[in-house]
Amino acid sequence: MNEPLYDFRSDNVGGAAPEILEAIVAANVGTASPYGDDDCTRRMNARFAAVFEHEVQVFPLSSGTGSNSIGLAALANPYGAIYCHDTAHINTYECGAPEFFTGAKLVGLPGRGFKLEPAALDEALGLAGRGNPTRVQPFALNITQPTDFGTLHAPAEITALCEVAHRHGLRVHMDGARFANAVAALGCTPADLTWRCGVDVLSLGATKNGAINAEAVVVFDPQLAREIPYRMKRGGQVLSKARFVSAQLERYVADDRWLERARQANANAAALARELTALPGVSLVAPVEINMLFLRMPDAAVAALDRGPFRYYKLGRDVRFVCRHDQEPAGLEALVHCVREAILPSR
């Protein structure tokens, strides 16, 4: 079966970056202690400390869902509430994993741009019934950065949300499945988006940007890390040969390439948006801030795409395109061409 040629479905349909494969091969030397007690994992921890300019404890794992669930469980109590946006990935596309690992209830709130609003969060927490045993007790705030709709929280927005959360006794978890795209787009440092704003735990994904099933739980407060090894083992999240994931993560942030790839993917999406929205009948559903586009377009354009060598997702009447780190330039051109021809036939 031949996969379609130009694939805009998601960044996780892409492959591995060359240096990631090299890192796996390079890690295959000698023996190493299992379960993360190895030199690759120690080097990876040191690298992350440098990149994040902060003491960290980093746990390698293979699943983004697992990474979010473990990150939240580190903050958890078993009769608790995790506050998040209605559209947060943990609330919509993880089949209840965060609830399973934490025993908590997810409380979704609305908010423009798919982002929580500090005042609304403050009000909700004020009404949460702290100390009332008939109510789940708030313990964590989740910020999805970027959001699943490709919007970004500026550092000041994250800081404001963390301030509200901490004032109400919550700790803050950031779902950074596309963290590279956020750092690249905002032109700031990893620290600027995390602990400097008040984030306590980050689930950083490398898979969508060139790694192979390599994710990291990055903990900025050592107290929060104490229970993680047990929770990971109990959740089937500990890797027997962890060195091969840690080696990827270490290499991933070792130089600028992770951000170069993210910058290029973001730029591709911006270019696509520019060219497509120049066409009559094509409009953005959400602002294009990273490597994702949500568009509304004429039926004829959708029909043309469906005939062509394209793969992408539909969400009701809208379409979504995601630019991968390994996007072929020809695919970008072909996509624009196809939509343009459908709307403004060249003959």
User: How far apart are alpha carbons 343 and 300 in whole angstroms?
Assistant: 7
Stretch that binds a second copy, among 148-156, 157-165, 225-233, 338-346 (CB under 8 A): 225-233
Q: Does 223 bind a second copy (CB under 8 A)?
A: no
The C-alpha atoms of residue 237 and residue 235 are separated, in whole angstroms, by 5
The number of C-alpha atoms within 13 Å of 338 and in the hemisphere containing its C-beta is: 22
Euclidean distance between CA atoms 322 and 199, whole angstroms? 27
- For residue 146, is the peptide bond before it cis, meaning its omega torsion is within 30 degrees of 0? yes
Contact present, 252 and 44 (Cβ < 8 Å): no
Which of 30, 187, 329, 345 forms a contact with a second copy (CB under 8 A)?
30
Distance between CA 254 and CA 325 in Å, rounded?
17
Least Cβ distance, residue 213 to a second copy (angstroms): 5
Three-state SS for 235?
coil
Question: In the complex with a second copy, which residue's Cβ is closer, 7 or 175?
Answer: 7
One of 75, 82, 232, 292 touching a second copy (CB under 8 A): 232
Q: How far is the CB of 339 from a second copy (least distance, A)?
A: 20
CB burial of residue 293 (10 Å; 0-12, 13-18, 19+): buried
User: Which span sits near a second copy by CB under 8 A: 24-32, 166-174, 291-299, 338-346?
Assistant: 24-32
Instruction: Using CB under 8 A, count the residues that bind a second copy.
Output: 75
* Angle (deg, nearest 10), helices 329-343 and 257-277: 10
Which position among 156, 187, 236, 345 is part of the footprint of a second copy (CB under 8 A)?
A: 236
Site for a second copy in 237-276 (CB under 8 A): 237-241, 244-245
Within 150-189, the residues that bind a second copy by CB under 8 A are none
Footprint of a second copy on 297-316 (CB under 8 A): 311
**224, two tokens:** 């929060």
Question: What is the contact mask toward a second copy in residues 35 to 54, using x (rule: CB under 8 A)?
Answer: x---x--x------------
CB of 13 to a second copy, least distance (A): 4
Q: Is the CB of 223 or the CB of 240 nearer to a second copy?
A: 240
- Give me the 120-149 binding string for a second copy, x by CB under 8 A, dash otherwise: -------------xxxxx------------
Report the nearest approach of a second copy to the CB of residue 35 (Å): 7
| The binder of a second copy chosen from 45, 57, 69, 194 (CB under 8 A) | 69
Q: What is the Cα–Cα distance from 38 to 289, expressed in whole angstroms? A: 38
By beta-carbon proximity to a second copy, the closer residue of 84 and 282 is: 84
Reduced to 3 states, what is the DSSP secondary structure of residue 32? coil
By CB under 8 A, name the one of 106, 165, 186, 224 that touches a second copy: 106
* Min separation Cβ 270 and a second copy, Å: 21
Residue 211 CA to residue 207 CA, distance in Å, equals: 4
Chosen residue from 28, 167, 256, 303 binding a second copy by CB under 8 A: 28
Contact yes or no for 152/176 (Cβ under 8 A): no
Verify binding: residue 71, a second copy, rule CB under 8 A: no
Q: Would you give the binding string for a second copy spanning residues 317-336, x where CB under 8 A is met? A: -------x------------
Q: Does 96 bind a second copy (CB under 8 A)?
A: yes
Question: Which residues is 144 bridged to in the sheet?
Answer: 175
Looking at residue 180, the DSSP 8-state letter turns out to be H
How does DSSP assign 191-211, residue by residue? GGGTTTTT--EEEEE-GGGT-
Report which of 295, 302, 289, 344 is spatially closest to residue 321, judged by C-alpha positions.
295
